[in-house]
């Protein structure tokens, strides 16, 4: 039960938040409709792989929710159900379709502050979640470049493991380097560092495992989709497409000017795998995956809106 009494300001802000979330969902649906005008359906579609795609997507939802649930209970002692944690993740996913990318995270903070928690601390937790997510994506995405070079690949895996084990130290160095460039976020980033220092190594490792497996499965979706459109993949090609997909998602996320990373993500994916699987196929694959993502994000956003509204969180 919320302990904050509803004031006129809270009511006004709540209405604005609801409209904002509905706008984000509408923009996601609009982006979906635009994609249908540009996509060219492949001649061969193996629909039996659709079941695999759905299973993978359900697993992705579970992993994303579990990662957020574990991070939150480890840092703020807020206990969420998997459904509630999934609704928070959905806020971020649909919020990215409004230029700026941060709006979904702000919605997440707004929902959580209804529990009388310290807002600066919550912002720090959300920043820490983003940092761990980006780091995990880099680890998976980098495999596409280092796996063909066997000696360097071993060093890359070792470096990735060390970067997780010494995450706090690397975070501190990174914050010092970026403090001057990100002055507005400096306090929030230092709050994230303080929160990470209070996390035990075991809990941090569990959260990283959830994130890394989440990204690996996310990459596997587009590789399975390639097989859905009739492409026979070798093991190496499957890994390359999966890792390239994660890397392109990360590039799209970092492109703050692009709502949902639309366009940027597709260009990044085609540039990475186009030479190995053919540019025509890579373009078709990237467009199909874009449609798939927008559908998932839209449905997830609608679920988040309905769930949060039913719980009086909005």
For the chain, give every domain's residue range.
46-77+116-298
* Tokens linked to 197: 């220092």
Q: What is the DSSP letter of 229?
A: T
CA distance 57 to 214: 10
**The pLDDT value given to residue 290:** 86
Q: Taking the alpha carbons of 137, 89, 289, 27 in that order, is the dihedral positive or negative? A: negative
Q: Which residues of the chain have pLDDT under 50?
A: 1-4
CA distance 293 to 84: 21
Q: Taking the alpha carbons of 75, 80, 85, 88 in that order, is the dihedral positive or negative? A: negative
What residues have CB less than 8 Å from 259, skipping those under 6 apart? 27, 31, 96, 97, 98, 99
CA distance 209 to 206: 5
**The pLDDT value given to residue 4:** 44
Could you give the C-alpha distances from 235 to 232, 240, 242, in angstroms and in order? 10, 9, 11
**The pLDDT value given to residue 186:** 61
User: pLDDT (tens digit, 9 = 90+) per residue, 234-269?
Assistant: 888 888 899 999 999 988 888 777 777 778 888 899
**The pLDDT value given to residue 3:** 44
């Amino acid at each position: 039960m919320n302990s904050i009494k509803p004031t006129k300001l809270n009511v006004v802000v709540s209405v604005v938040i609801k409209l904002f979330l509905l706008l984000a969902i509408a923009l996601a649906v609009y982006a979906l409709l635009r994609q249908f005008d540009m996509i060219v359906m492949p001649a061969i579609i193996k629909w039996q792989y659709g079941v695999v795609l759905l299973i993978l997507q359900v697993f992705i939802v579970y992993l994303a929710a579990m990662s957020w649930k574990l991070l939150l209970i480890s840092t703020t002692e807020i206990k969420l159900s998997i459904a509630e944690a999934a609704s928070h993740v959905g806020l971020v996913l649909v919020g990215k379709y409004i230029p700026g990318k941060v709006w979904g995270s702000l919605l997440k903070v707004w929902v959580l502050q209804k529990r009388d928690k310290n807002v600066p601390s919550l912002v720090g937790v959300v920043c820490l979640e983003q940092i761990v997510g980006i780091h995990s994506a880099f680890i998976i995405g980098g495999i596409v470049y280092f796996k063909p070079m066997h000696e360097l690949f071993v060093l890359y895996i070792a470096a990735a493991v060390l970067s997780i084990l010494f995450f706090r130290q690397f975070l501190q160095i990174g914050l010092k380097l970026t403090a001057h460039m990100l002055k507005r976020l400096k306090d929030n980033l230092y709050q994230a560092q303080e929160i990470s220092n209070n996390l035990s190594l075991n809990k941090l490792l569990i959260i990283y495992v959830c994130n890394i497996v989440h990204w690996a499965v996310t990459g596997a979706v587009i590789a399975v989709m390639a097989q859905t459109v009739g492409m026979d993949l070798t093991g190496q090609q499957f890994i390359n497409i999966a890792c390239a997909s994660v890397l392109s998602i990360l590039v799209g996320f970092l492109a703050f000017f692009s709502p949902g990373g639309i366009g940027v993500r597709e260009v990044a994916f085609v540039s990475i795998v186009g030479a190995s699987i053919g540019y025509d196929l890579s373009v078709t694959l990237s467009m199909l995956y874009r449609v798939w993502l927008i559908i998932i994000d839209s449905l997830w956003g609608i679920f988040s809106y309905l769930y949060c509204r039913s719980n009086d969180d909005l």
